Chain A
């Protein structure tokens, strides 16, 4: 039986790097959104202000993932 290479991977290691870089922001955004949902459930009348704060929080956390994506293009 000759071996058939069915899982050969060619490509750039930066892809894996970006995958790792996306873990942290992913967890972070998840936490921000889940806490916001929790807060809105507790106090629905504050929903508007909480959502604005949520967008801000997401924007800061997301920056890391975006820098990771940019770094992948720049340093390859």
Chain B
């Protein structure tokens, strides 16, 4: 017993000795999200890597949509009913937002009304998220609060606008004083409803997207910087850990692709549902 323990300590000591004589591993911190400024330093237009990625994504989205609409127009004009691969992709993506998000939740009429906003939201969130796994970009455009904040504010304004447009001032009455509750309980219900509808909804929309992207990026950085550390800065058995972290990093990359699409879907779906709840008649 004593001897095995001794042997084990010796093994551990030799392992820690190997690790200790080299550089210490530095895990990623929150400062990952504050890269140095690359252009226009000192002005309000200062651009860092994340901002640059956002601009590139914006330009790419505009180009893709221009190409798609040109293809669609061509197909309509020439009566060509056999779509190419690129066109099918566009039709599928746009149809997904249209049928399974907008029409499913809001119905045909209101779905069409809010479709432009919902489509923009879906593709913007998707585009900004997916840069987190694209090589050489490697950080999501939505992993700093700006993009989620703008999208969350758009959702907030839209569902309040939808409610006021439909019910006028009674929208606030419907949402703060739900029908069918005994009058005394309004003391309890109204603050909760106010908190959940007008504060927690936008805050959670923003935080969900932001935190998913931050956590995802930190996980990827952790895995790959650990791989780098194990392979290049340690010796002996420790190098084997590098293979493990590399596999984990690869798995998390695939997971991140899933998360990007899922977050785009969830963000759009939740906005749709909030609009639908605002449009709903008093129960």
Contact surface of A with B, Cβ cutoff 8 Å: 1, 4, 6, 48, 52, 55-56, 59-60, 62-63, 66-67, 69-70, 73
**Chain A interface main SS type:** helix
For B13, give its contact among A4, A56, A66, A70 (CB under 8 Å). Answer: A4
Complex contacts, A70 vs chain B, CB 8 Å: 207, 210-211
Q: How far is the CB of B32 from chain A (nearest CB, A)?
A: 12
Q: Is the CB of B207 within 8 A of A52?
A: no
Q: Mark B98-118, 1 if CB is under 8 A from A, else 0.
A: 001000110000000000000
Instruction: List the count of A-B residue pairs having beta carbons below 8 Å apart.
Output: 47
On chain A, the residues within 8 Å of B207 by CB distance are 63, 66-67, 70
Query: Quick check: B208 and A59 within 8 Å, CB to CB?
Result: yes
Residues of A within 8 A of B212 (CB): 66
B96 to nearest A CB, angstroms? Answer: 13
B211/A66 in contact, CB under 8 A: yes
Q: Is the CB of A52 within 8 A of B269?
A: yes
Contacting residues, chain A, for B210 (C-beta < 8 A): 70
Please measure, in the bound complex, the distance between the C-alpha atom of A59 and the C-alpha atom of B202, giving whole angstroms.
12
B interface residues, how many (CB within 8 angstroms): 23
Determine whether B12 belongs to the interface, using a CB cutoff of 8 Å to chain A. yes
**A60 / chain B contacts, CB cutoff of 8 Å:** 204
If A6-B16, A66-B211, A69-B214 are given as contacts, then 5 extra A-B residue pairs at C-beta distance below 8 Å, sorted by A number, are: A48-B104, A63-B200, A66-B204, A70-B211, A73-B30
Whether the Cβ atoms of A55 and B105 lie closer than 8 Å is no
| Secondary structure call for the B interface | helix
Q: Report whether A4 and B204 are in contact in the complex, using a CB–CB cutoff of 8 Å.
A: no
Contact (Cβ within 8 A) A55 B269: yes
Docked CA distance A62–B207 (Å): 10
Taking the complex as formed, is B173 at the interface, i.e. its CB lies under 8 A from any CB of chain A?
no
Closest residue to A58 on the B side, CB-wise?
Answer: B266
Chosen A-B contacts, 5 in total, with CB atoms closer than 8 Å, are A55-B266, A55-B269, A56-B270, A63-B204, A67-B204
Q: Indicate if the CB atoms of B208 and A52 lie closer than 8 Å.
A: no
B171 nearest CB across to chain A (Å): 20
Chain B residue, CB-CB nearest to A11: B27
Nearest CB on A from B229, distance (A)? 17
